[in-house]
Structure 1
């Protein structure tokens, strides 16, 4: 499940070091932001895909859909690697994101089949710990593949990773029992979506994660441009990205251990408050320096804000899915659609606004942090700690 959840990160993070070589290959200027569309469309494809995989997973089971999504994932990777134009590449990235929604959605549904409440939060943080090995290793791998011969190799690696996961998943048991499967029809699917959205706990935590991901996705899409164009430190990008991923893995391990002593709800609240506070400090420092603070100070506050959000997300997702045991696939689809699709749109607003300074990052992180905390507080008024 950890490897399955990492498939999206692998597709994203191996490509980032190739942007510098890809711009001239597609006739783009050195400071062009058009390649950020390869990430935005990938996330948009994931958002659409979650609505497809979730209800199907509740109807026919988890395992058949996992293999189907991996086949589409590999095919899109090959098309992207052979893309003769930017338009073909962008189309393949949308389809690739659609396919990546399968492993991501099914991971959450499978874990919910087996666990709930704080126990599920512990499982999700453990999966997230392994998940962050992807961002640690993928940029290094991507840089090596570019140096080996071409940016196209970074895309082709996606097909290889899908094949490895498919072979490994042959040993995975089906976790959805026959008696728990739902009939597949438009009416039952619509009723399932309504049940998920009508639950205040699920909706509140889903919106909180969505705003948090709006900030986190802008980090993924814009960090390369910030280091290269804004601060003129291109050699810092891969080391920082890998270091940030190592920090994220450490945060996940710490979360997993803390969840042995505290419940998920107070831990999520602490992480949400920390994200808002560090984002506020980031905005204050950025505004005080005219949009371009010293790189060391900016990196410190930026990293603290990202670490707080990384600590919040898996626990909040577990709390969102907690009331939805009978609709785990559909609920995972709603959570995935909102957090990925709307989160990508929020991130795109930030990405497009970056032009020579990091003020858009400071503003968006703080605004999204406040909104995420407000949604979490709203959800907490309707939820109670789970007793496992």
Structure 2
């Protein structure tokens, strides 16, 4: 990995590049870990709170977490652009640890919900700050390469989370699983003391409502940032459907519910592998070209998936389905982190607000687009495949718009 620009390097003091990337990757994974580590504790929690074995009330611990995260994007992004990166990162980690501790010590399920909401609200901070700090240090191709390394942890966290949660349950109660969130926040906050500020005071924005709103609007109206942000969000409509519907597809359509866990684990490893391969490929291939190629592959594989559904009346051979379905989602995994770097690259000191705008757009629009696909699973893969084709096609068009805007901006710079 080539050295970043000299100005950024002097602001990082004793943090070496590999340590910096590892710290950013772990910081970025805090949100995913907060979701996946607690799932193994649900059985013990049902007993502790006298719930029925089939009670779905614990699913609200995930829902309120996501609601909190969605709101947190709009707070921590502008704060990071106004107060500086490190101070806001430490604030969010402190709140993250407090939310986890409230949930761990909760006497009632309602207090667990409150703790999870605070926990989710705070989790938006590390996610946004990791992207903004990386953008402060890197530009262009190097930014794309570092983002792909960080993304490896995003894909591996859903695998590691349940393993960690189950391991903690072996030595303690469900409360210790929640308290693990506090421990990780404290550890990262201590580590963050080695991270110098990356946003100089002269580049900070005033902290005011009109400034925040204008910053969010500016980010999404930017032809490059807005185009790639929407391309990511549309792609996540398919990816969120993959997360939400895979178990139902394997159970209802193929009668293989026991295949879900190994398939999900394998997909996490494969997507992590795609992110690593992307990192290596970006040494030779321009980030915009790689993202466009991955988006094109996503569309082609989605069309293959649709063809498979049509010729088999929606119930293809399970192995043929899994191979094509996995390949399509792996193509999306090749596009996502690179497109994120392309969206952030023009933002400069506005990177915190831009990361917030991108995160909120992906969360909200992606969830809305995934919902009809999830509901369409009824004995056939064809409706899901149709959704994949539509979303992949729209995403590719948005990428082409963003790419053209980048080329026009470059031409203007040369004049």
Relative contact order higher in (CA < 8 Å, ≥ 6 apart): 1
1:35 Cα shift? 6.3
TM-score using structure 1 length: 0.87
When structure 1 is superposed on structure 2, of 348-357 and 260-269 the one drifting more is 348-357
Q: Which has the larger radius of gyration?
A: 2
| Aligned: 1:132 with 2:155 | yes
Q: Tell me, what secondary structure is at the counterpart of 1:383?
A: helix
Segments of structure 2 that go 5 or more residues without pairing to the other structure are 1-23
**Is the alpha carbon distance of 1:359 and 1:317 closer, same or farther for their aligned partners in structure 2, counting shifts above 3 Å?**
same
| Aligned: 1:297 with 2:320 | yes
Corresponding residue for residue 123 of structure 1: 146
| Aligned: 1:11 with 2:30 | no
Coordinate RMSD, CA, aligned: 3.0
Q: Deviations over 1:283-308 (max 9, x none)?
A: 33234444443332222222112211
Paired residues for 1:71-86 under 5 Å: 71-81=94-104
Report if the CA contact (8 A) 1:36-1:221 is conserved: no
| Aligned: 1:175 with 2:198 | yes
Paired residues for 1:228-239 under 5 Å: 231-239=254-262
Report if the CA contact (8 A) 1:39-1:221 is conserved: no
1:318 Cα shift? 0.9
Q: Tell me, what secondary structure is at the counterpart of 1:182?
A: coil
Q: Tell me, what secondary structure is at the counterpart of 1:324?
A: helix
CA distance in 1, matches of 2:351, 2:215: 10
Report if the CA contact (8 A) 1:354-1:360 is conserved: yes
Corresponding residue for residue 166 of structure 1: 189
Q: Deviations over 1:321-367 (max 9, x none)?
A: 12111311111111111112222232344334445655553333222
2:243 maps to which of 199, 220, 223: 220
Corresponding residue for residue 370 of structure 1: 393
* Corresponding pairs, count: 385
Report if the CA contact (8 A) 1:139-1:238 is conserved: no
CA distance in 1, matches of 2:246, 2:62: 12
Segments of structure 1 that go 5 or more residues without pairing to the other structure are none
Paired residues for 1:82-97 under 5 Å: 92-97=115-120
CA distance in 2, matches of 1:230, 1:86: 35
| Aligned: 1:193 with 2:208 | no
Report if the CA contact (8 A) 2:69-2:123 is conserved: yes
CA distance in 2, matches of 1:363, 1:187: 41
CA distance in 1, matches of 2:105, 2:318: 37
Corresponding residue for residue 319 of structure 1: 342
Q: Deviations over 1:163-203 (max 9, x none)?
A: 22222222111111121111111222222223212211111
CA distance in 2, matches of 1:94, 1:218: 23
Paired residues for 1:1-388 under 5 Å: 1-16=24-39, 26-27=51-52, 29=54, 38-81=61-104, 92-145=115-168, 154-227=177-250, 231-354=254-377, 358-384=381-407
Q: Deviations over 1:101-160 (max 9, x none)?
A: 100100111011111111210111122224433233223333445566766654443233
